[in-house]
Amino acid sequence: MTSTEHIGRCGLCERPLGKKVEWHHRIPKSRGGTEVMPVHPICHRIIHASVSNQELATTFADVAVLKARPDISRFLHWIADKPADFHAPTRRPDTR
């Protein structure tokens, strides 16, 4: 997906975009990525709270694979009926 595809919809949850839009590098810039997709801030935060830059570069650059990840899939189900500018704190998984 390029920066011009789905411009009216979030590249992760596919809900309409709101007033605030962030651009997610499918492969992190630190790993040489240039391709971006528009996302809600909450969707951007869940990606980075759940997946490391290394994992994004090697395993989850494909959005379909990222969406199939169980924690992301649960998030997508939860966020599906929320308004475009919905915000809630994003927590990292407890790894203790």
Q: What confidence tens digit (pLDDT) does each residue in 40-91 have?
A: 999 999 999 999 999 999 999 999 999 999 999 999 999 999 999 998 876 6
Evaluate if residue 1 carries a pLDDT over 50. Answer: no
Residue at 84: amino acid letter:
A
| Rounded Cα gap, residues 64 and 11, in angstroms | 10
Contact 74, 63 (CB under 8 A): no
pTM: 0.84
pLDDT digits (tens, 9 = 90+) for 25-39: 999 998 888 999 999
Is residue 9 a contact partner of residue 22, using CB atoms and an 8 Å limit? no
Q: Which phi and psi angles does 38 have, rounded to 5°?
A: -75, 140
pLDDT computed for residue 93 by the predictor = 59
User: Where do the domains of the chain lie?
Assistant: 22-79
pLDDT value of residue 6: 46
| pLDDT tens digits along 4-14 | 344 699 999 99
